[in-house]
Structure 1
Amino acid sequence: MAFNFCSSTGIVSANKLVFDRGFHFATTLTLLHFVFTTLGLLIAMKAGAFPFKRLDAAKAAKLAAAGMGFVVFSNLSLQFNSVGFYQVMKHLTVAAVVAIEAVVFRRVLPRPLCAPVACLCVGIAITGATDFQLNVTGTVCAVLNVVFTAFYQIWCGALQRSLGANPLQLQLYIAPMSAVGLLPFVPLLDDYRRSSPASIWAWTPTPGVVGLIALTGVLAFCVNVSIFWVIGRTSAVSYNVLGHAKTTTLLTLDYVAFGRPLEWANATGLVVAITGVVTYTQQKLRLSQRAAAAGSAAAGGGGTGR
């Protein structure tokens, strides 16, 4: 959990520092993250961390496309938005997943979860409307990040179950596919024109920024591996509490390290949004525990009857 906490909060902070220090090429940075993740997974597999499993490449490609979109727009959102708005908008994925499942899969949200989701949406609306860095480009990137992340989460869970693969085996397929699929878009989304003064060719690398870029690549791999460890070795309660701790830390860092001004309207929005997230998590866990208890009781009753 400590490893996941440090790598998750570290990659957001490191990415933001990279952008703030003049490297404004989020898609190129995303490509490097996929390359680092692929290399790290290959090394981990060779070291015996997980066995290779042959998967359906066509099914994995669909997930790779969604993963490519959510990482690209995640980095673009972080480039154009404040850390606070970026982090709070990520929680809107909960509402997006609910909406997609309702429309596509006809899964109705349980009544106890409706109020927390509404609270989350209201908080995010207040936060966005009062954010000191609010801009059209950043807002569009944040919304697209939410949409791609929602589809990625839905498809990832379904694909793991259908293929019988663990997250690292699936990532070993997705990361290189995403890297290759992203290549044609890099010169379109980033400035690669030789004649442009703002192009990547005009960027002057410094040891500090190059080191930060390499660090973000290593952290990208660490985040993927540590999520697998945390989910496998802790409870759902611990995993969700860890998520809230990361959000609180990143919001605090936005005020302390990245110069976010303290505005009461914006702070109120953040509090309302986080309240919705925490309440949603608590209600979701209660419903899961009740369902598990009901399943155990039914199984016990069936055994007694026989």
Structure 2
Amino acid sequence: MGLLDCLVGAEGRKSIKRKDSDAGEAGKALEELRGSLYNELRTAEGAKRQQQRFCRPVVAMSFNFFVAVGIILTNKLVMGKVGFNFPIFLTLIHYTVAWLLLAFFKALSWLPVSPPSKTTPSSSLFTLGAIMAFASGLANTSLKYNSVGFYQMAKIAVTPTIVLAEFILFRKTISFKKVLALVVVSAGVAVATVTDLEFSAFGACIAIAWIIPSAINKILWSNLQQHANWTALALMWKTTPITISFLVALMPWLDPPGLLLFKWDINNGSAILVSALLGFLLQWSGALALGATSATSHVVLGQFKTCVILVGGYLLLDSDPGPVSLSGAVVALAGMSAYTLLNLKESKESLNKQIPMQDPVSKTKSSENGSDGSTVTNTTNEV
């Protein structure tokens, strides 16, 4: 110890103590940060704040966009090359895998806390779970019996349905400029997909029946997250079992016979499993996007995917959809850009309204009075 003291010296010992103290303070600060983050996730309000903090609208919609493109390609493989032509059962596999993953998160305490039951009626959760089964199941069935173009044409009708339903349910209105932008988007998508309108009578009925559940599903997801402190994962955990039970009931009515004759092997099973994992990510990313934006914005995002795939195929893959379809896609993208800019402008204006503008005169008075707060308070009360 004496040799160490000689080599290090008094200043060296002080430096070592300071370093040990700094390391101890850094470790203490890290533990406090972990503890505060854990406590934040233990309440519904804190979990919602964390979701809003880390998942901004641009992040949520980008996440949903890339996952949606991936699952479109995967489902084409599953229903085409693999030959798994059972859309309701495929949707059931998606939600079953999602529920198993959520149960795993729950066991590891990674699942955000749900709001108190008294804040959200159980009937609302049951309704959302049931509608989600019809919206997802009928969407996949429509894709099976109709062309992609007719499916997109049916999706156009979801936009005015959402606007009308939000006005009836919540008295929510949108500006005239937004209405014009949505009309441009719808017209552009209609022109872009008009060359691919193959459908059957049964497929057309399925597409029409899908419109209302799809609109209500998006509205409920958005409303419960934005006004009832629900996070995407917590809401998925509560509603997925209900959705699974309704999908089981829909299978005998909408799926064709022959499920037990399907050839299960490693390749087919792997493709279906990848589709199911992407289905979980699609549900999660869609819920995040609905919580961060609105139901109408989410529909516009879906139409944006169609136009990007159409234009991207022409530019990168030498596909030739024709000048009419390309012109419609460009017009739709222009309308989407205008709608996005109007949303950003309204968000900025609402944020400025939330920040109170301080009067310079009152600010001067408060600085002159200094610590004499009681005098200012009494004067204000008298006035």
Same fold by TM-score greater than 0.5: yes
Q: 1:261 to 1:190 in 2, by over 3 A?
A: farther
Give me the TM-score of the superposition, normalised by structure 2.
0.65
Going from structure 1 to structure 2, the CA distance change for 1:81 and 1:181 (only over 3 Å counts) comes to same
1:213 is matched with 272
TM-score of the superposed pair, with normalisation by structure 1 = 0.79
Aligned residue in 1 for 2:375: none
Match of 1:191 among 226, 246, 256: 256
Q: Higher RCO, 1 or 2 (CA under 8 Å, sep at least 6)?
A: 1
Q: CA RMSD in A?
A: 3.7
User: How far is 1:290 from its partner?
Assistant: 1.4
Amino acid at match of 2:268: V
Query: Structure 1 stretches of 5 or more lacking a match?
Result: 193-198
- Pairing 1:125–2:190 present: yes
Summarize deviations over 1:28-71 as a string: whole Å, max 9, x none.
11111110111111112223322343644322010111211211
2:160 maps to 1:95: yes
Q: For 2:188 and 2:202, how far apart are their aligned partners in 1?
A: 21
Q: Secondary structure at the match of 1:102?
A: helix
CA distance in 1, matches of 2:147, 2:324: 16
- State the shift of 1:95 in Å: 3.1
1:49 equivalent in alignment to 2:110: yes
- Which region of structure 1 is more displaced relative to structure 2, 69-78 or 23-32? 69-78
| Matching residue's letter, 2:283 | N
Indicate how the Cα distance of structure 1 residues 27 and 50 shifts in structure 2: closer, same or farther if over 3 A, else same: same
The SS at the match of 2:194 is helix
**Structure-2 change in CA distance of 1:230 and 1:44 (3 Å):** farther
Listed one character per residue, the Cα deviations across residues 131-189 of structure 1 (whole Å, up to 9, x for unaligned) are 25455554544444443222112112322355432111110011111001221110111
After the TM superposition, which residues 153-302 of structure 1 pair with which residues of structure 2 at under 5 Å, given as runs? 153-161=218-226, 163-192=228-257, 199-226=258-285, 246-247=305-306, 249-251=308-310, 262-296=321-355, 299-301=356-358
Q: Verify the 8 A CA contact 1:123 1:271 in the aligned structure 2.
A: yes
Identity fraction in percent: 25
Shift of 1:88: 7.0
Q: Report the count of equivalent residues.
A: 295
The separation in 2 between residues aligned to 1:182 and 1:168, in whole angstroms, is 20
SS of 1:61's equivalent in the other structure is: helix
> SS of 1:300's equivalent?
coil
Task: Return the alpha-carbon distance in structure 1 between the equivalents of residues 328 and 161 of structure 2.
Answer: 19
Gaps of 5+ in 2: 1-58, 363-379
- Runs (4 or more) in structure 1 with deviation over 6 Å come to 228-232, 239-245, 253-260
Decide whether the 8 Å contact of 2:141 with 2:254 is kept in 1: no
SS across alignment from 1:173: helix
Question: Per the alignment, do residues 229 and 114 of structure 1 end up closer, same or farther by CA in structure 2, a change over 3 Å counting?
Answer: closer
Give the match for residue 70 of structure 1. 135
What residue in structure 2 maps to residue 114 of structure 1?
Answer: 179
Q: Is the 8 A contact 1:91 1:277 kept in 2?
A: no
Would the alpha carbon gap of residues 260 and 97 (structure 1) be closer, same or farther in structure 2, given more than 3 Å must change? farther
With over 3 angstroms needed to count, the CA separation of the structure-2 counterparts of 1:302 and 1:15, relative to structure 1, is farther
Q: Match of 1:30?
A: 91
- Counterpart of 1:12 in structure 2 is 72
Post-superposition CA distance 1:238-281 (Å, at most 9, x none): x9898787555533576699997522222322332333223212
Q: Deviations over 1:12-31 (max 9, x none)?
A: 21112211122111111111
- State the alpha-carbon separation in 2 of the partners of residues 245 and 129 from structure 1: 16
Please tell me whether the aligned partners of residues 69 and 148 of structure 1 are also in contact (alpha carbons under 8 angstroms).
Answer: yes
Give, in whole Å, the separation in 2 of the partners of 1:281 and 1:70: 26
